[in-house]
Structure 1
Amino acid sequence: MLPKVELHLHLEGAAPPAFVRGLAKEKSIDISGIFDAQGGYVFTDFWHFLKVYEAATSVLQTPEDYARLTRAVLEQCAASGVVYAETFVSPDFCGGRDLGAWREYLHAIRDAASAVAVQGGPELRGIVTCIRHFGPDKARETALCAAETVGDFITGFGIAGDETSGQPKDFRWSFDCAREAGLRLTAHAGEWGGPQSIRDVLSDLGVERVGHGVRAIEDLALVDELAERGIVLEVCPGSNIALGVFPDWRKHSISELDRRGVRVTVSTDDPPFFHTTMEHEFQMLHRAFDWDDGQFARISRTALDAAFCDADTKAKIAKVLEAA
């Protein structure tokens, strides 16, 4: 129960199965095919996972739904000792990229997060995320929504989805738009696309963090470059293992990347889909690599240094980490 900082958490992907089933029942939506006999999410591979993810998200239809989701997700974060989190949110799912509708959804999410923080729960910030397999044109609309709502809650911009769809350079306009609006930048890469996908988001999109990035280990020159440039990797070990990027915890690249000087952090990605929590991630990393409290404290400090929040929030969270 060390205090933890999480940088890579998809809001819809963190929805508890029971929460999604409850909303589906309220709205008379049949999504029974996305659950297994035990009530958890079920999928066969990454691309099937994307379809199940979008089916689960389909029950989230109003700003109030997202407010309820935000409270449920932060409750789970707090149970694992998370004191600060950044979550990916997308106007694609919140109002169909219509700016007026997006503002309503965002207001509901932000108010719910603020209420949790006031009550002593985790601090939350939002990273507006375009969906790669939805294409560059929709990404431009998403970027404009992000640029119009940058502020104390929306602090970053990124891209998620199918890494094999299109090229990072196709989304350059969207990232330039977000950068000019003052948003910090991250991008999913190096999970399915290999080392070259990491090089591409660094050169074509100019990101300062990479979501996953774990296949950098296949190119040691790239590993050295990441270390030298101080690029932060938002590593999600449990997710990578559940989806078959690595066969087991001991063969995951996070420890070797860390040993070689890359700034790695730990997150859960879509925790209920992968049967994980931040507490579980820490436990498994301890078992696999014998990481101790000092190592985990360093990882959390790296995550806080790389967080897309303001200096006052960082100072507040730093005191919590130091006290522990």
Structure 2
Amino acid sequence: MSVTTLPKVELHLHIEGAAPPSFIRGLAAEKKIDISGIFNERGEYKYTDFWHFLEIYEAATSTLQSPEDFRRLTRAVLAESAASGVVYTEAFLSPDFCGGRDVGAWREYLAAMIEAADEAERQDGITMRGIVTCIRHFGPEKAKETAICAAETAGDWLTGFGIGGDERAGELSDFSWAFDCAREAGLRLTAHAGEWTGPESVREAVDVLHCERIGHGVRAIEDLALVDRLAEDGIVLEVCPGSNVVLGVYPDWRSHPIEKLRARGVKVTVSTDDPPFFHTSMEREFQMLHDTFDWDEGVFDEITRTSLDAAFCDGETRSRIEKRLERRP
């Protein structure tokens, strides 16, 4: 089966983490910033483990210094996603990297990214919406500032709020104020959990932060009572299998629990996380799932419909994407 022509919906993509290495090298050369140490001899991002990955990620992001940089970045990322068959994507955006959590500066960065997204929709047929994400290892006080940025710009385009970064930094309950602020502004909620910490972190994201989606969440499989609860409550997992395998959460694709979770009734979706860091794309994720678990077109259609149903966009946008799915080749 060819997965190339299948339309895809992606819900878990970090905009900075999706930056092609060539794009970051180009920006660094323009600005005369020496970040050569973050690449290997093939010009790819290099890191040794998840925590080193975070350091390399932030070093690469240091080249992104203006709204124009983020406009160009967004356009480049969406072009690559569209080439992989993605018709709708939700990207995590960090005011930490866009004006230092200053609301006025954040508005300028956001406007630049929306401009690029509008151009991509016209030219490449891909629709994007934004989810503001605070960074866990930056601490809860900075997360409050990030939440204020999100609340001040919530609307039809900026539709969600989440948290990423090092899951082992602090407790999710430390970020309750930020999530309450975002919820009161009408933003829908997701949180990274159950990747580097166990099922208890997934339970905390649901019970304490009241998230309707979980970024990763795969280690819920270690607690079958929790798995059944996720299925019963309709909590959606933003699963990134390629990321989990490359970072060593699971040793190989066959060991990944996505099929076990799906078979037990959990709503799973498929995303790339930080695609160039993990040498992946949505097309490759689909191909590996087909090769590993023998997923056929019917399963992929189910995954795509689940993803669209779980998207944080408004009804009009969802209907528009639905029509694109119906017009598939």
**TM-score normalised over the length of structure 2:** 0.98
**3-state SS in 2 of match to 1:258:** helix
Post-superposition offset of 1:115: 1.3
Please tell me the residue identity of whatever aligns with 1:25: A
Say whether 1:197 aligns with 2:214: no
1:200-222 CA-to-partner distances (Å, cap 9, x unmatched) read 11111000000000001010000
Residue of structure 1 equivalent to 2:90: 86
Question: Of 211, 222, 225, which residue of structure 2 is paired with 1:221?
Answer: 225
Aligned-partner SS, 1:271 = coil
> Any conservation in 2 of the 1:74–1:121 contact (CA below 8 Å)?
no
Q: 1:120-135 alignment to 2 at 5 Å? A: 120-135=124-139
Distance 1:209 1:270 in 2: 18
| CA distance in structure 2 between the partners assigned to 1:259 and 1:293 by the alignment | 16
Aligned length: 324
Aligned to 1:228, the other structure's residue is in SS state helix
Matched, 1:323 2:327: yes
CA shift, 1:322, in A, is: 2.3
1:228-273 per-residue CA deviation (whole Å, 9 max, x = no partner) reads 0000000000000000001111110000000000000000000000
* 1:49-88 matches, cutoff 5 A: 49-88=53-92
1:236 and 2:240 equivalent? yes
Q: What's the CA shift for 1:116? A: 1.2
* 8 Å contact from structure 1 (residues 297, 321) kept in 2: no
Cα deviation 1:117-147 (Å, max 9, x = unaligned): 1224210000000000000000000000000
Letter of the 2:128 counterpart = L
Amino acid at match of 2:73: L
Name 2:116's counterpart in structure 1. 112
Preserved contact between residue 82 and residue 125 of structure 2 (Cα < 8 Å): yes
Distance 2:62 2:33 in 1: 9
Q: How does 1:114-263 map to 2 (within 5 A)?
A: 114-263=118-267
Among 13, 16, 23, which residue is 2:27 paired with? 23
Matched residue, 1:297: 301
Aligned position for 1:313: 317
**Comparing 54-63 and 120-129, the one that deviates more:** 120-129
Tell me how far 1:319 sits from its aligned partner: 1.4
- Establish whether residue 270 from structure 1 lines up as the match of residue 274 from structure 2: yes
State the secondary structure of the residue aligned to 2:208. Answer: helix
The corresponding residue for 1:282 is: 286
1:32 aligned to 2:36? yes
State how far apart, in whole Å, the 1-side matches of 2:136 and 2:124 are.
35
- Measured in 2, the distance between the counterparts of 1:23 and 1:118 equals 26
Q: 2:94 & 2:42 partners in 1: Cα distance?
A: 29
CA distance in structure 1 between the aligned counterparts of 2:225 and 2:258, rounded to whole angstroms:
16
The CA RMSD over aligned residues, in Å, is 0.6
Give me the whole-angstrom Cα distance separating, in 1, the residues matched to 2:36 and 2:224.
45
SS of structure 1 residue aligned to 2:309: helix
Helix, strand or coil: the match of 2:285?
A: helix
Q: Select 2:14's aligned residue among 7, 10, 14.
A: 10
Counterpart CA distance in 1 for 2:171 and 2:258 is 26
Deviation at 1:52, TM superposition (A): 0.2
Deviation at 1:323, TM superposition (A): 2.6
Structure 2, unaligned runs of 5 or more: none
Q: Which runs of 4+ in 1 moved over 3 A?
A: none
